[in-house]
Structure 1
């Protein structure tokens, strides 16, 4: 399934909550695409940038559809997971980040996860779309060596985020 480009519907979700903020021209929006592999019942981390955005929303699209369903968001008053999340595994947001974590990944979790992040800057806000194509494999596929559980980069990122969270609370 191809990853669709800019979705005006997603931008509308954020615009409702940031009235008075000058949003950049759609041609100035950054698009980042990633392919992620997970194993059924495994854990996967879907990233939405390296720093915490002012506002963000995660949406999910099943393979073969163009329908984007809201999954989680933070409009500046704390993160919230929506009911769809419970069908994909144990979904959470990594503390003090916009990283989506799915533990106990189900077959239903395969699809495109899009995070739209708005970073409020002094001069001009920055909007970035992170497209995460999640491919889910069963144990047989993994045993044949056709996929990975967590990459070294993901493991290192998680360690860094956990260390930062501990430092923030000391």
Structure 2
């Protein structure tokens, strides 16, 4: 009689390597058969049965993990859950009641979840030039979807901020600049756990900017710098650049010194003229210049 058959459908999540319990009702049936249907198939294969003489495990049970029938019940305990255990479990339970035989089908859809592994970062270019396109990918070997990713950025001063989050493992920076230099780290998460990657350093190559020239000591007018004759005068050239710039000094268009600080001991009136500093980024093969007029006068 179809009216005497009851169907109970439920879902259950387990985690690879952990344990789950599949229940066949709240009371032990007189007769039961546990079956398993692999995803993508229709065949139901016996896992264990008990016709009143005790549970009998079938060969299939060996591939579904460490299966034991819970004493005093018809429920299954699966230890060290393998990924192969995912599928549909059917417990056909027969009860001998005063009203006659009662048959209940318990359908349990077991989903085996895989924790996320420790992610690793793939970086398109660890030392890109300023203005370049840079992408970072948070790679995972294992992890059941849906997955969630979060990217953190840490400055050299230790300030940490979130720069991207969502379901994409990619983090794109269209035009990087020097302010993007620092450490990057990604987090990967699913409903089981979360893991974070090791940090990776992004070093933006840039410059040189237009140099700044500092003259010591000096007086300044609308025509440039004035210094006293026979003083020791220092010209210091500085330009923002990564890697640091190399410097060359020119006097009236002739090279006179290499290095950031050019010192003239006991300067004379004959040293009056135009001084130029050239800064060079040898990595990018780029240059910038700054020129000043220096007049030496006698009191």
TM over 0.5: same fold?
Answer: yes
Once residues 123 and 50 of structure 1 are traced to their aligned partners in structure 2, the CA distance between those partners, rounded to angstroms, is 19
1:36 pairs, out of 1, 8, 12, with: 12
Partner of 1:114: 90
C-alpha offsets along residues 16-41 of structure 1, whole Å, 9 cap, x if unaligned? xxxxxxxxx12431000110000111
Contact 2:114 2:192 in 1 (8 A): no
Identify the range of structure 1 (45-54 vs 139-148) with the bigger mean alpha-carbon deviation. Answer: 139-148
Give 3-state SS (helix, strand or coil) of 2:97's partner: coil
Partner of 2:240: none
Structure 1 portions without partners, runs of 5+: 1-24, 149-170
Once residues 34 and 83 of structure 1 are traced to their aligned partners in structure 2, the CA distance between those partners, rounded to angstroms, is 25
Distance 1:107 1:55, change over 3 A: same
Contact 1:48 1:130 in 2 (8 A): yes
Give 3-state SS (helix, strand or coil) of 1:108's partner: helix
Partner of 2:189: 144
Shift of 1:124: 1.3
The structure 1 segments of at least 4 consecutive aligned residues displaced by more than 3 Å after TM superposition are none
Structure 2 portions without partners, runs of 5+: 117-142, 145-187, 194-299
Partner of 1:128: 104
Partner of 2:74: 98
Once residues 7 and 189 of structure 2 are traced to their aligned partners in structure 1, the CA distance between those partners, rounded to angstroms, is 33
C-alpha offsets along residues 109-145 of structure 1, whole Å, 9 cap, x if unaligned? 0000000000001221110000000000111147834
Q: TM-score, normalised by structure 1?
A: 0.69
C-alpha offsets along residues 64-92 of structure 1, whole Å, 9 cap, x if unaligned? 10000000011000111101001011001
Q: How does 1:22-101 map to 2 (within 5 A)?
A: 25-101=1-77
Partner of 2:132: none
Greater relative CO, 1 or 2 (CA 8 Å, sep 6+): 1
Bigger strand share: 2
Alignment RMSD (CA, Å):
1.6
Once residues 145 and 106 of structure 1 are traced to their aligned partners in structure 2, the CA distance between those partners, rounded to angstroms, is 18
How many residues matched?
124
Once residues 76 and 107 of structure 2 are traced to their aligned partners in structure 1, the CA distance between those partners, rounded to angstroms, is 12
